[in-house]
């Protein structure tokens, strides 16, 4: 059953509506993917098409409940504001976003790593009339790949030494590869770059430490950040909120 738009269409939305007929051909495919979030939004960053996974993760039984709403309306508010601002920036600038590593927080405060891509949609004149996006849950590496064991050793090294700066030459030597080979195989096997693995490892540690009452500056230092402000910027860019706000969300003390 195809959901219908639950709000009035502006002129740009009429153009977008024509595009939706093509996206809806793929709707059953995206609905069958429990580890993939798919969506199309209009020029006001409102959902016009979503898959079942997104609806479920936002706490809705029916996809139609999301239509006409922005991310700010359906995600925890502090996160939703960031996602909607991100959408509007993409629509305003017309630039795509590729493989953004994110740690969204769904209802119930359940986090999950994903890679998000967003693509602006344009009419015949080149004007941006909306965007389409997809977020893929991160999985374990493809252990059947011939280079997996060498790459796994590199991942282990990153995880054991994440407080230190990334040294691609040393990591490539550990895997007996060139830097170019390391980066290429890393993306193929783990769907991440070595730098993204380091970021993920550091933020995994940070989110675990933020459960405690350690000072945020101490958490930053323990996760490899000598600059507290850099840690806060990186954390907010990836997670959607500052470390302090994340801690408050975990403890249920943040409102609005």
CATH of the domain at 160: 1.10.10.60
Same domain flag for 95 and 168? no
Residue at a domain's end among 137, 171, 192: 137
Residue 200 tokens, joined: 């993920």
Question: Kindly report the CA angle at 140 between 136 and 141, in degrees rounded to 5?
Answer: 105
Residue at a domain's end among 137, 172, 200: 137
* Domain span holding position 87: 11-137
Q: Which helix (H) or strand (E) holds 81?
A: helix 77-93
Same domain flag for 87 and 173? no
**SS3 breakdown of the chain: % helix, strand, coil, rounded to 5?**
50, 15, 35
Quick check: is 1 in a domain?
A: no
pLDDT digits (tens, 9 = 90+) for 152-192: 899 999 999 999 999 999 999 999 999 999 999 998 888 88
Same domain flag for 150 and 127? no
pLDDT digits (tens, 9 = 90+) for 22-80: 888 999 999 999 999 999 999 999 999 999 999 998 889 999 999 999 999 998 776 78
Stated pTM of the model? 0.71
Residue at a domain's end among 81, 103, 137: 137
Quick check: is 4 in a domain?
A: no
């Amino acid at each position: 059953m195809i959901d219908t738009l639950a709000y009035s269409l502006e002129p740009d939305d009429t153009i977008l509506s024509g595009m939706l007929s093509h996206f809806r051909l793929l709707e059953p495919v995206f609905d069958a993917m429990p580890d993939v979030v798919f969506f199309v939004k209009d020029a006001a960053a409102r959902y016009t098409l979503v898959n079942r996974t997104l609806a479920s993760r936002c706490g809705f039984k029916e996809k139609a409940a999301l239509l006409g709403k922005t991310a700010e309306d359906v995600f925890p508010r502090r996160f939703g504001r960031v996602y909607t601002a991100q959408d509007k920036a993409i629509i305003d600038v017309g630039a795509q976003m590729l493989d953004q590593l994110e740690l969204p927080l769904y209802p119930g405060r359940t986090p999950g790593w994903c890679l998000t891509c967003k693509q602006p949609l344009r009419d015949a004149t080149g004007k941006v009339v909306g965007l389409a996006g997809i977020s893929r849950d991160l999985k374990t590496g493809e252990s059947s790949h011939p280079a997996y064991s060498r790459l796994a050793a590199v991942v282990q090294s990153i995880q054991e030494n994440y407080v230190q700066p990334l040294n691609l030459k040393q990591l490539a030597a550990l895997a007996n590869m060139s830097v170019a080979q390391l980066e290429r195989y890393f993306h193929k096997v783990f769907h991440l770059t070595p730098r993204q693995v380091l970021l993920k490892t550091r933020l995994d540690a940070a989110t675990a430490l933020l459960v405690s009452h350690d000072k945020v500056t101490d958490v930053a230092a323990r996760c490899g950040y000598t600059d507290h402000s850099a840690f806060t910027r990186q954390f907010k860019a990836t997670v959607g909120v500052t470390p302090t706000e994340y801690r408050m969300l975990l403890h249920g003390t943040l409102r609005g």
